[in-house]
Amino acid sequence: MTVNFQIEPGGRLSGALRVPGDKSVSHRAVMLGALAEGRTEVTGFLTGEDCLCTMRAFQAMGVRIEAVSPSHLIIHGVGLHGLQAPAHALDLGNSGTSMRLMAGLLAGQRFESTLTGDASLSRRPMGRVIEPLQRMGARIESQEGRAPLRILPVDGLQGIRFESPVASAQIKSCLLLAGLYAQGRTEVHEPEASRDHTERMLRAFGVTLEARPGYAALQGGQRLSGTRIEVPADISSAAFYMAGAAMTPGSDVTLTDVGVNPTRTGIIEVLRRMGADITLVNPREFGAEPVADIRVRGAQLQGVEIGRDLVAASIDEFPIIFVAAAAARGTTVVSGAEELRVKESDRIQTMCDGLRTLGIDAEARPDGMRVEGGTLQSGTIDSHGDHRVAMSFAMAALHAQGTISILDCANVDTSFPGFAELARQAGLRITVGRGV
């Protein structure tokens, strides 16, 4: 099915909004719940396609998952060695997190498995996990470092000490999950601190590990015991509304129950540096994860320089940051963000092309972009099937002079089912066209 968005210009955002559950936490809840002994109850689970792919993959390996409601799951864990060989290849759709984390978890199994994905996922680099897993003793075949991945049975893995060249929670989590199946200790060092949901959640399941920013290590063979997980609202989904409101004077939104894990809150820092009016209220905890309500009031934003130190903590938010930069006064320069080129699309190129289509002076660089704030014109944007690109350009209409049409938006459902409906309720003049 094809899905396109059409957004009439103008409007403001207002109201109290609850965006769906955190994607990273939802994936991990299913994975760790499946490997645990006993029941794990998950509430606030994200029913986006990416997390459903993870859920189906574990069901295909014999894990029973009861849905009390679509976002309330009871996972009947099978223990570290209880997964069964899947009868067919596991299709992980658009989801890089599913593929990289599951590659680690499956690398130590005594059965063979194959991981496949859609065209976008099949273009993304998997060598970054295959290579360290092979050093641990895994046997993995790929298409020159890309999916499909064929993971062959092994008798066991060996712990390693790995210096990751990139700050990536997917690489770190992949190796920690493989490390559960390894003899000895598995250690991961990274150049900047990536999100630490795996470390927090492993502890909640009773695993002992050492973790500090940029470092995580665990001893193999530890057992997980079932627990309760309450998934916070996803700050990466809230970010579209936060930035949309921040850049539109007269807007006033409160995003409720948002996960504010410090490894994820770069967007708050970036928007504040741009002059946004943001307050965090009602801070509390959902299990191992800090949560707050985030109130954002509109203002005239200013251009800003964003360097490598802020990249990891806002890695998924650059599409909407580039849109906020276009609506700001002055120049924004982003550097140290070359990882954006290997996301669901090349987010430096797709965003630069889209902004230029709307009449903005933007220059793509190998590791980021320069954006001159200006007046957004009407235009038709190709999202290249990238959910976050589509949602970001939808918010651009708040600042545009004419209608913005966005093509290839079906993948918005991978992370944010109900995006358009919530956006309309908040004040965006969006309509959704569906075809076959």
Residues classed as catalytic: 316
One residue of 109, 173, 248, 383 binding ligand S3P per CB under 6 A? 173
CB of 237 to ligand S3P, least distance (A): 11
Q: Measured from the CB atom, is 248 or 263 closer to ligand S3P?
A: 263
Residue 81: other Cβ atoms inside 10 A: 11
Q: Measured from the CB atom, is 26 or 113 closer to ligand S3P?
A: 26
Q: Return the SS3 of 35.
A: helix
- 251 counts as binding ligand S3P under rule CB under 6 A: no
- 233 counts as binding ligand S3P under rule CB under 6 A: no
CB of 381 to ligand S3P, least distance (A): 21
Sequence-distant (6+) residues with CB within 8 A of 379 are: 357, 358, 359, 402, 404, 405
Q: Measured from the CB atom, is 81 or 189 closer to ligand S3P?
A: 189
Decide if 182 contacts 138 (C-beta within 8 A): no
- 115 counts as binding ligand S3P under rule CB under 6 A: no
Residues of span 296-315 touching ligand S3P by CB under 6 A: 315
Binding mask 334-373 for ligand S3P (x = CB under 6 A): -----x----------------------------------
Stretch that binds ligand S3P, among 79-87, 153-161, 164-172, 247-255 (CB under 6 A): 164-172
Rounded-to-integer distance, Cα 22 and Cα 331, Å: 32
CB of 434 to ligand S3P, least distance (A): 26
- 169 counts as binding ligand S3P under rule CB under 6 A: yes
367 exposure class (CB count in 10 Å sphere: 0-12, 13-18, 19+): middle
**Which tokens go with 307?**
């360097």
Rounded-to-integer distance, Cα 377 and Cα 357, Å: 8
One residue of 47, 54, 109, 168 binding ligand S3P per CB under 6 A? 168
- 95 vs 117, 150, 295, 427, CA distance in Å? 7, 17, 30, 30
Would you mind telling me the total number of residues written for the chain in this entry? 436
Decide if 326 contacts 374 (C-beta within 8 A): yes
One residue of 316, 317, 382, 386 binding ligand S3P per CB under 6 A? 316
Report the half-sphere exposure of 91 (CA within 13 A, side-chain side).
Answer: 5
Q: What is the DSSP string of 217-284?
A: EEETT---B--EEEPPBPHHHHHHHHHHHHTSTT-EEEEEEEE--TTTTHHHHHHHHTT-EEEEEEEE
CB of 45 to ligand S3P, least distance (A): 14
**Which tokens go with 209?**
């590990």
Q: Measured from the CB atom, is 257 or 317 closer to ligand S3P?
A: 317
- Which backbone phi and psi does 369 adopt, to 5 degrees? -160, 150
Sequence-distant (6+) residues with CB within 8 A of 324 are: 243, 246, 247, 271, 274, 301
**Which tokens go with 93?**
């759709």
Q: Measured from the CB atom, is 4 or 170 closer to ligand S3P?
A: 170
- 170 counts as binding ligand S3P under rule CB under 6 A: yes
CB of 196 to ligand S3P, least distance (A): 10
Residue 160: other Cβ atoms inside 10 A: 19
Stretch that binds ligand S3P, among 163-171, 293-301, 360-368, 426-434 (CB under 6 A): 163-171
Q: Measured from the CB atom, is 266 or 379 closer to ligand S3P?
A: 266
Residues of span 6-45 touching ligand S3P by CB under 6 A: 24
Q: How many residues bind ligand S3P (CB under 6 A)?
A: 11
Q: Measured from the CB atom, is 13 or 218 closer to ligand S3P?
A: 218
Decide if 371 contacts 322 (C-beta within 8 A): yes
CB of 194 to ligand S3P, least distance (A): 6
Rounded-to-integer distance, Cα 37 and Cα 80, Å: 8
One residue of 47, 54, 97, 120 binding ligand S3P per CB under 6 A? 97
Residues of span 42-71 touching ligand S3P by CB under 6 A: none
CB of 54 to ligand S3P, least distance (A): 11
244 exposure class (CB count in 10 Å sphere: 0-12, 13-18, 19+): buried
CB of 97 to ligand S3P, least distance (A): 4
Binding site for ligand S3P (CB under 6 A): 24, 97, 168-170, 173, 194-195, 315-316, 339
